[in-house]
Amino acid sequence: MPRRKSATEPAARGRPRAYDTEAALKQVTETFWRTGYSGTSLDKIAAAAGMSPPSLYAAFGNKHALYLEALARYWELTLAATREALAGDRPLAEALMLAYDAALSFYIPRKGAARGCFVIGTAVAEAVEDAEIRKSVATGLRMIDADFEARLCTARERGELKQDADPAALAVLASATMHTIAIRARAGARRAELREIARKATSVICGCPVEADCAATRSHSSMESE
């Protein structure tokens, strides 16, 4: 599996690559996202990536390794988006709504059809039988939980939550809200409906009303319009 190792490499001996690995992986992710791991053939993957099957195998290994790489890349992007939303000095409700809006821009891109969450829509299906996928899912879920809990602990320290609030319990609900949105997006729910769910959940978690336009920043994720 010879991949480019560094930008300042001596040379490139043989015939040059006709593809960009990152761009190909992006397209492959897009394909798995819609039809899942088992439901996506290598022919369709190759067509989406604009690569021939042998090139695909040289670059990524096999179908399974390719999916794992797509899954890892997805976690990186979504975890970063969630952390960015929760970071900073925003009020708790705004931070949470920002996180849900970021998720929504992944789940329902402004261009293209709704597809929900890559993990919940495709990886969860394989997780029971596939130990590697299961581990990736479990680890990712745990990290999101931890990010929410950290933010809720901060909120309590700052007096944004009542002193007797349970950050761990509220973090569970914050994660659960993201999960239910991911599921409903894949089941065809409208964006506005899902945002309303996010708003209601945030109200309960924060213990105060949240306006409909809270944190409506129209941010554009890089993954949004692939």
Partner DNA sequence: CATATTTTATAACGTTCGTTACAATTATTG
Partner DNA sequence: CAATAATTGTAACGAACGTTATAAAATATG
CA–CA gap between residue 34 and residue 28 (Å, rounded): 10
d(CA 29, CA 44): 12
Q: Could you tell me how many residues of this chain bind DNA (CB under 7 A)?
A: 26
Stretch that binds DNA, among 36-44, 76-84, 133-141, 143-151 (CB under 7 A): 36-44
For residue 79, state whether it binds a copy of itself (rule: CB under 8 A). Answer: no
d(CA 32, CA 122): 7
Amino acid at 131: A
Return the residues of window 52-71 that contact DNA according to CB under 7 A. 52-55, 57-58, 62-64
Q: For residues 152 and 98, what is the distance between their CA atoms, to the nearest angstrom?
A: 15
Residue 169's binding partner among DNA, a copy of itself, none (Cβ under 5 to 8 angstroms by kind) is: a copy of itself
User: Which residue among 204, 208, 212, 216 contacts a copy of itself (CB under 8 A)?
Assistant: 204
Residues 22, 77 contacting (CB under 8 angstroms): no
Out of 63, 151, 186, 195, name the contact with a copy of itself by CB under 8 A: 186
DSSP string, 23-37: HHHHHHHHHHHHHTT
Residue with tokens 């990524």: 60
**CA–CA separation, 46 and 143 (whole Å):** 32
Given the rule CB under 8 A, which of 6-14, 56-64, 75-83, 108-116 is the region that contacts a copy of itself? 108-116
Would you mind telling me the total number of residues written for the chain in this entry?
226
**7 near DNA, rule: CB under 7 A:** no
Q: Is 191 in the site for DNA (CB under 7 A)?
A: no
- Residue choice 20, 23, 38, 216 for contact with a copy of itself (CB under 8 A): 38
The partner in contact with residue 112, picked from DNA, a copy of itself, none with C-beta cut-offs of 5 to 8 angstroms by kind, is none
Residue 78 binds to a copy of itself (criterion: CB under 8 A): no
